[in-house]
Structure 1
């Protein structure tokens, strides 16, 4: 091949050397940061035999050339563009600077959660498998599988323990990844996560009942009481705490003498951040979540289907922040007074949101051309249908943005439908397909119809949005 000619043609198609801000390459793609992507001659690129596809994501315009070709073309390309060779991280930084604040926030969340997706997917699938073992009337009339076949009870119990691990200790995973993203020591971030789920603390899931009973334990520090409450399964508190930890650590590294740095910096950074987490960050985010859920109950009770549509629309964005975990207090109260309330309305709406995220990822499996992304899309879609949406949401839907928009619209429409028919659940569990076993009698038909509406609307909108000119994140 004439690599020089290919590089020259590519440079012309992307708007000339003055339009190139930075460039690098990976195994198959030329990864560029362009000053103005509107100058790209997309039709010209599509016609070239050497170009296997193009897409734009995270401020980078990427041209797929293939293994063995891209590195040779890159050598000629940077000569003609008059730029220096750059690392992937340098180009990633340059690309991030082009994004608006919202896009930067989404990218930050994606960068934090993508590395921990395999752990979340594995536990999510095991959680769904556990529901298969324990669901009544699913395969055997009047019994669950473990009741019909007692020999598998031990296996089911083991799977149940395994399935909870990533969620019980979620702050540890996020603490490691987030602190690394914010420029701190990831191992200190992991320890910070451990502090937040320490067994000496009241478990976050038990906090509502402990609070109602007035039995919350405290640390008495010179007359100042600090609640000993954990943050199992939460996202927002550890994200804020990890940011503080990274900044405190960076501050201390610049000011502590090198002879004491390895001793003083980790000690003070971790203690100061931990103290702030339990005295300020955690309580504030918990209070914010409580205020939000009280508003949701009012919205559902007074506006009916409209309220269901609104809750369904915003449920996934709340999952991003982790504030959906504050729904546990509301659902616990609704289920405790089930004779009066008839069950919880939040669980079915959460199921509609989860199914929508799964449907969007499923649609992306057929739209995306990159094999690695396709594999992630298929696995995360299954996980979302079983009730665990983080892999689909952070790994696929938020990355490409428009699948996420399609999913929250699909969730809104299906949530309005099930709210209109007063679909409620008598228990909490994996919100999705396994949730069928928790729906109140006489409402199962509408729950299934809601999931179908959610899937069909989301898949259709994802395909429609993928054809829009602004949707350049997918290979044409």
Structure 2
């Protein structure tokens, strides 16, 4: 009888039986199931299993978090179920079959725009700063703007237009590149196609409305004798670039199948690129422009009409649920089109306030559960990250678990969104979707931006306390006394909340001797809290507490003194046990199990004794990035039942082998 046979049998039952499982595989920490009917999975019962640390659904896969012993669990599950595992690629293919068309389209849209977000966000901040420099008369300067009174700042303002133009005017280049990258075709062709949409030879899209038809016909056309094509640019246009990008992808796929390999290097790019460029300027561009303008017009009209209060109330309240479904990625394209058409967006301000509301709801829960040290390790960084525009740790780590803070955030976001919309407070572009978001507005709008933020935060904070007492919205917490705080259990001290994803309640009276052990940076780079990792399994601490490093070097060292206990077959993860008993997972890259070990060279073997001076592995960062994966090196303490606490003393840029924290281990 295998170690996990009993849990494996129960898991099979709670998943709806063998007939409900379309595919199963596993990675270093989790079982990945593709279910025929997700509704048959009994999630509470699954999370009650002793070997399960949590569950998570993503991209059509139902994932069950096991931990370091997932290979053994997988073997026992295969034995009791009679189901043979499939490759990761086959599992993902099956997962896509489990998604409807809308889910697939949303997934594609998300993967196209996500790589562009860093540039779009920083571009929005720079536009806001330029607006302050050139558009705000100051009394101390005699009513002049900073650029009018200072040669230096006038130069700074002019210089900053260089990256702003590159980000927003040349956005089609990023879109066409991202499409070819996501679809696995030739990325340089995507870049070339994007450049042909924004070339200086073309009439700039921003100048089209001010140019007469006669002038365009005379000066801005290619004349082929029996037909002409207008030389119109598509600066900042989203849909024309997307249509052209997908046409290029499918033409390249078609010709790669039908052109002999010996001449494919010449004729596949030629027959793919030239027809796409021609179609982009004759058909796809004009049609896409009209579609994009139509969408932005409808959204802008709805948010500017006499019913704007209703539109904004609904959108502000429902944006957070959109994040759960992934539909929120569609707003990126709409926001970009609004900025292109109207010079500003009235959609993004509501998104900014929704993020602030999620952070405030977690802050309220922190005050309600103060003293719960283990939950504070999630709630404090989750609040900070939400206030800085990243809401997933807040939503999935706290708010959705308890439900009532999530609903309170929806109410606060709805009212704040309505307020900022009916006052016609528009953003110059997409910026940081949290408290720093005010930088994306004109300075004369700052008072209303700050008022809307304050209203959102106050309403959310208050409603979190109110909704906590509504039983239908609160099913996970202990019984509350009249003051709204947890009552003591009979015959014992007050207990903290038990979280299914964490698997244990927290007590200040835990028995046993606690050993402190030093933790070191495994690689040179930027140290971040684990709540900032983009993989929810790590950021929600389903695998335990820890930290991550965004590496600048390929050399990965041991973060602790200890012994190597496991090396995953795809070489991307190594397990180490410390003398004090902490089980430490060193996970190199995110989702790098799919790379089958290619970018990694492991330099240790199971049973080796290691120190922070021991080189564990080499990770080819360029190869990982080229595969579309993130290089974050995550260090997690996976035997959470023995971890009394973890303190991360240093973050930011740091050298490898530098002491950055301590872990407390109970014997």
Question: What is the TM-score of this pair, normalised by structure 1?
Answer: 0.72
Report how far residue 351 of structure 1 moved. 4.8
2:93 equivalent to 1:93: yes
Contact 2:303 2:311 in 1 (8 A): no
Structure 2 SS opposite 1:205 = helix
Which of residues 434, 442, 465 is equivalent to 1:437? 442
Contact 1:352 1:411 in 2 (8 A): no
Alpha-carbon spacing, 1:179–1:300, altered in 2? closer, same or farther (3 Å): closer
2:47 equivalent to 1:26: no
Report how far residue 135 of structure 1 moved. 6.9
Alpha-carbon spacing, 1:365–1:18, altered in 2? closer, same or farther (3 Å): farther
Provide the residue aligned with 1:37 in structure 2: 38
Contact 1:208 1:329 in 2 (8 A): no
Alpha-carbon spacing, 1:265–1:310, altered in 2? closer, same or farther (3 Å): same
Q: CA deviation digits over 1:406-439, x for unaligned, max 9?
A: 999877654543554x5467x9466741255344
Provide the residue aligned with 2:245 in structure 1: 242
Alpha-carbon spacing, 1:172–1:48, altered in 2? closer, same or farther (3 Å): same
Report how far residue 275 of structure 1 moved. 1.1
Provide the residue aligned with 1:449 in structure 2: 451
Provide the residue aligned with 1:270 in structure 2: 273
Provide the residue aligned with 2:115 in structure 1: 115
Alpha-carbon spacing, 1:296–1:212, altered in 2? closer, same or farther (3 Å): farther
When structure 1 is superposed on structure 2, of 167-176 and 246-255 the one drifting more is 167-176
Report how far residue 268 of structure 1 moved. 1.0
Distance 2:239 2:383 in 1: 25
Report how far residue 277 of structure 1 moved. 1.2
Provide the residue aligned with 2:331 in structure 1: 320
Report how far residue 240 of structure 1 moved. 1.8
Q: Which structure has greater strand proportion?
A: 2
Provide the residue aligned with 1:104 in structure 2: 104
Provide the residue aligned with 1:54 in structure 2: 55
2:349 equivalent to 1:352: yes
Report how far residue 294 of structure 1 moved. 5.2
When structure 1 is superposed on structure 2, of 246-255 and 150-159 the one drifting more is 150-159
Alpha-carbon spacing, 1:172–1:88, altered in 2? closer, same or farther (3 Å): farther
Contact 1:138 1:144 in 2 (8 A): yes
Structure 1 SS opposite 2:205 = coil
Structure 2 SS opposite 1:2 = coil
Which of residues 227, 232, 257 is equivalent to 1:229? 232
Distance 2:225 2:381 in 1: 55
Report how far residue 456 of structure 1 moved. 6.4
Structure 2 SS opposite 1:86 = coil
Q: Which structure has greater helix proportion?
A: 1
Aligned-residue RMSD, C-alpha: 4.9
When structure 1 is superposed on structure 2, of 245-254 and 118-127 the one drifting more is 118-127
Contact 1:356 1:458 in 2 (8 A): no
Contact 1:235 1:321 in 2 (8 A): no
Report how far residue 267 of structure 1 moved. 0.5
Distance 1:239 1:380 in 2: 30
Alpha-carbon spacing, 1:167–1:329, altered in 2? closer, same or farther (3 Å): closer
Write out aligned runs for 1:269-348 (5 A).
Answer: 269-292=272-295, 303-304=305-306, 306-307=307-308, 309-310=310-311, 320=331, 322-327=333-338, 331=342, 347=345
Alpha-carbon spacing, 1:350–1:251, altered in 2? closer, same or farther (3 Å): same
Report how far residue 262 of structure 1 moved. 2.1
Unaligned runs of 5+ in 1: 333-345, 385-390
Distance 2:429 2:69 in 1: 50
2:178 equivalent to 1:177: yes
Report how far residue 360 of structure 1 moved. 6.3
2:70 equivalent to 1:65: no
Provide the residue aligned with 2:191 in structure 1: 190
Alpha-carbon spacing, 1:32–1:457, altered in 2? closer, same or farther (3 Å): farther
Alpha-carbon spacing, 1:38–1:77, altered in 2? closer, same or farther (3 Å): same
Contact 1:360 1:458 in 2 (8 A): yes
Q: CA deviation digits over 1:98-156, x for unaligned, max 9?
A: 12222222112122223344444454555556566667479977677777886666566
Report how far residue 40 of structure 1 moved. 2.4
Structure 1 SS opposite 2:245 = helix
Report how far residue 295 of structure 1 moved. 5.3
Distance 1:30 1:364 in 2: 31
Provide the residue aligned with 1:335 in structure 2: none
Distance 2:207 2:382 in 1: 34
Distance 1:154 1:56 in 2: 50
Alpha-carbon spacing, 1:351–1:362, altered in 2? closer, same or farther (3 Å): same
Provide the residue aligned with 1:417 in structure 2: 419
Distance 2:458 2:106 in 1: 26
Provide the residue aligned with 2:660 in structure 1: none
Alpha-carbon spacing, 1:309–1:137, altered in 2? closer, same or farther (3 Å): farther
Greater RCO (CA < 8 Å, at least 6 residues apart): 1
Write out aligned runs for 1:111-190 (5 A).
Answer: 111-127=111-127, 136=136, 158-190=159-191
Structure 2 SS opposite 1:27 = coil
Distance 1:408 1:71 in 2: 40
Distance 1:214 1:31 in 2: 60
Alpha-carbon spacing, 1:37–1:364, altered in 2? closer, same or farther (3 Å): farther
The aligned length equals 437
Alpha-carbon spacing, 1:144–1:119, altered in 2? closer, same or farther (3 Å): same
Report how far residue 226 of structure 1 moved. 1.9
Provide the residue aligned with 1:78 in structure 2: 78
When structure 1 is superposed on structure 2, of 75-84 and 96-105 the one drifting more is 75-84
